[in-house]
Amino acid sequence: MTDAHIAAVGTSPLGWTDLPGRDLFSRALAETFADLPDPAEVVDALYVGAQSERYENQIMQGTLLAEWAGLQNRPAERVEACAAAGALALKNAVRDVRAGVHDAVLACGVEKMTAGGTEGATNALAAAFERALEQRSGITAPSQYALIARRYLHETDVTEADLAEIAVKNHRNAAANPRAMFQREVDVETVLDSEYVAPPLKLYDCAPVTDGAAAVLVTSERLAADLAADSVRVAGVGTAANALAVAESNLTYLEGADVAASRAYEDAGIEPGDVDVAEVHDAFTVCEAMLAEAVGFAPEGRGVETVRDPAERSPGWTDVHINTSGGLKARGHPIGATGLTQAVEAYEQLTGRAGDRQIPDAGTALLVNEGGLADAHTAAHVLTGV
Ligand code: COA
């Protein structure tokens, strides 16, 4: 098996933009290849993460993005698992390179979520939930996660103010991230005073509706050394599908995320305590707390304590820094591209390019990207510096 490396990364602006999906993708591609030969000279195949065709009434994104990138006549496929699509594109690229099928594969994702406003995005996202009972009852992403948050607050000592600290920390990190959608800090009062979207979740507990694209070039170790001054190694991969229906889901323990992360740790030969930085799927603040527990960063019911500086945490917590990018909450959540924006942050941390938010000596990163309700589908990756 060949080692897979990430040789280059790029994103479009993330936020509310006038740019159509094509321009978002072009911006991400241009940044990725800024210091490399033309994509057509490098890329053997392409995987595209895209959540929904409803935003721009467009399927066939594999072919389309290959055409836009000048990459015709090579394999190009769309991957779909709602918000986990981007990480699944990355996983497929890594699998192909590790197996020696291709030397260089582009994993990319794009979503033009604002095309139909918040209402259009809400309807498009509802397609990720179980149809027979739950969609027809009018359930939305925030209301599904509100059920989880209610149960979590009921079964633990965690309060809405504790969850607010997660939003505050992620906005603070985003303020130091030039890629982030919301480059502004907020305080706990602002979060707690914001309007309820679906109680107990308020505006500042929610990731925003975001336009954006991201691209990650995955290559063999040899090609990465030829192409780029810096690369990072994809040391571990793990995925797991759990359940789509909220009625079938465990509302307090994200078993699918636990399984996917455990597979990625095992593949990489590491333990949770080895992870320096992690990008985890904080679509809603409660998710970050629950994921911190599921992937082994904190004991059950105490994931919120990972917002504290490592020196101030209780024994039993790891020293990991979570969502240094600002997370989905404040960097933004362009659904099909989100898993790849996580990889972009890890690449920048592991290559020392994270500027004011750089974690000193960051050597190992965990990425956890989820699709559907909570851990309906989880894709986890471990990346290491070289
Ligand atoms: N966090 C902080 N501020 C936000 C925000 C967010 N998530 N979303 C919007 N805002 C701010 C805007 O900047 C704007 O501020 P301004 O008045 O100072 O300009 C204001 O709130 C209104 O923005 P708007 O876009 O009209 O909000 P909205 O009420 O239409 O949408 C949500 C807000 C939370 C309902 C929407 O962002 C949402 O649905 N988020 C969840 C997306 C989702 O489910 N993703 C998938 C998860 S699996």
- CA 164, CA 147: separation in Å to the nearest integer? 17
User: Beta strand pairing status for 4-11 and 211-220?
Assistant: antiparallel
On the question of pLDDT at 266 being above 90, the answer is yes
On the question of pLDDT at 64 being above 90, the answer is yes
Pocket test for ligand 1, best of 186, 206, 211 (most atoms within 8 A of CB): 206
320 to 133, 292, 298: CA distances (angstroms)? 39, 10, 10
**What residues contact 106, with CB distance under 8 A and at least 6 apart?**
32, 39, 43, 45, 46, 47, 69, 71, 93, 215, 216, 217, 218
Beta bridge pairs of residue 381: 237, 367
- Under the banding of pLDDT at 50, 70 and 90, the label for residue 246 is confident
On the question of pLDDT at 316 being above 90, the answer is no
Determine the average pLDDT of the residues in 227-241: 97
- Under the banding of pLDDT at 50, 70 and 90, the label for residue 247 is confident
Are 231 and 34 contacting, i.e. CB atoms less than 8 angstroms apart? no
Q: Which atom of ligand 1 is nearest to the CA of 117?
A: 30
Q: Which atom of ligand 1 is nearest to the CA of 371?
A: 48
Residues with CB under 6 A from ligand 1: 83, 118, 122, 125, 141-142, 197, 203-204, 206-209, 283, 333
**What residues contact 348, with CB distance under 8 A and at least 6 apart?**
9, 354
CATH 3.40.47.10 fits 4-117+209-226, yes or no: yes
Quote the pLDDT of residue 208.
98
CA of 25 to the centre of ligand 1 (A): 23
CA of 233 to the centre of ligand 1 (A): 35
- Torsion of the alpha carbons at 17, 178, 347 and 114, rounded to the nearest 10: -20
Pocket test for ligand 1, best of 203, 291, 338 (most atoms within 8 A of CB): 203
Q: Which atom of ligand 1 is nearest to the CA of 141?
A: 44
Beta bridge pairs of residue 240: 378
On the question of pLDDT at 252 being above 90, the answer is no
Q: Which atom of ligand 1 is nearest to the CA of 82?
A: 48
Global confidence as pTM: 0.98
Residues of the chain by 3-state class (helix, strand, coil), percent to 5:
40, 20, 35
Quote the pLDDT of residue 352.
98
Supply the DSSP string of 228-266, one letter for each residue: -S--EEEEEEEEEE--SSGGGS-SS--HHHHHHHHHHHH
Domain boundaries, the chain: 4-117+209-226
Q: What is the mean pLDDT of the chain?
A: 97
Segments in 43-140 forming alpha helices (H) = 61-68, 85-98, 117-126
Determine the average pLDDT of the residues in 186-205: 98
Beta bridge pairs of residue 356: none
Burial class (CB in 10 A: 0-12, 13-18, 19+), 126: middle
Are 21 and 213 contacting, i.e. CB atoms less than 8 angstroms apart? yes
- pLDDT tens digits for range 330-371: 999 999 999 999 999 999 999 999 999 999 999 999 999 999
CA of 203 to the centre of ligand 1 (A): 6
CA of 27 to the centre of ligand 1 (A): 24
Burial class (CB in 10 A: 0-12, 13-18, 19+), 386: middle
- CA 369, CA 240: separation in Å to the nearest integer? 11
CA of 287 to the centre of ligand 1 (A): 17
- pLDDT tens digits for range 121-162: 999 999 999 998 899 999 999 999 999 999 999 999 999 999
